[in-house]
Amino acid sequence: MDALTEIQQFLGCATPSGWIERAAKSDSLPVLLIDHANCEKKAASTAMNLMFRYVDRTDLLNKMSRLAREELIHFEQCLALMEARDIEYTHLGAARYAAGLREPVRTSEPGRLVDLLIIGAFIEARSCERFAALAPYLDDELAKFYRSLLKSEGRHYQDYLSLARDYAGEPIDERIAFFRGVEKELIESPDAEFRFHSGVPAEQAA
């Protein structure tokens, strides 16, 4: 099974066609790229937050350090693309997605760590799935960029998942299934805002 198929099976649903139609519109491109840049920046920052909180976990420190560096390179690639296309980097509020996923995170350890790692796996997996779903609708340069990201984000998904399994000390399949449901709901329900990880555009869902 190739990495993308595995990721599609890990996720509870495919990206709805309503989101793809909206993302493929040319006037969606600035928001898409700015939010994508923000997501890369946020991914690096999330990884570094884990490094500050869990200093005694060597495997986590190594994997998250490498991941943070890769995300920052992706961020720079987004910036370069925006600059080349004269897209101004304006302030854009975050999607409901990451906050919605984090809402049910447990407060006790290691539950908190395991939940954050499972959520990290879902965010990476969804990013991968969306890059692949979007690529056919983008111009050559962007499609090539998004396809190039598939590989590293696919590895990030696996890193998060294996860390979650290693640190849980118990089977986590039920917890993964729980977050799969939360993630699916965020992706499939109507969403007033269009972002890289938003749900079905509300104007189409209505």
Report the residue number, 43 or 64, with the smaller CB distance to Fe ion: 43
Residue 153 makes contact with Fe ion by CB under 5 A: yes
- Residue 24 has φ and ψ, to the nearest 5°, of -80, -15
| Stretch of 25-33, 38-46, 82-90, 106-114 contacting Fe ion, by CB under 5 A | 38-46
Q: CA–CA separation, 30 vs 86, rounded Å?
A: 9
Report yes or no: 164 and 122 within 8 Å, Cβ to Cβ.
no
Residue 74 makes contact with Fe ion by CB under 5 A: yes
Residue 129 makes contact with Fe ion by CB under 5 A: no
179-198 positions binding Fe ion, by CB under 5 A: none
Report the residue number, 198 or 201, with the smaller CB distance to Fe ion: 198
Give strand pairing partners of 44. Answer: none
Q: CA–CA separation, 2 vs 108, rounded Å?
A: 36
**How many helices, marked H, and strands, marked E, lie in the chain?**
9, 2
63, 68, 71, 191: residue in contact with Fe ion (rule CB under 5 A): 71
Report the residue number, 145 or 194, with the smaller CB distance to Fe ion: 145
- Taking the CA of residue 68 as centre, how many other CA atoms within 13 Å lie in the half-sphere pointing to its CB? 15
Binding positions for Fe ion, rule: CB under 5 A: 40, 43, 71, 74, 124, 153, 156
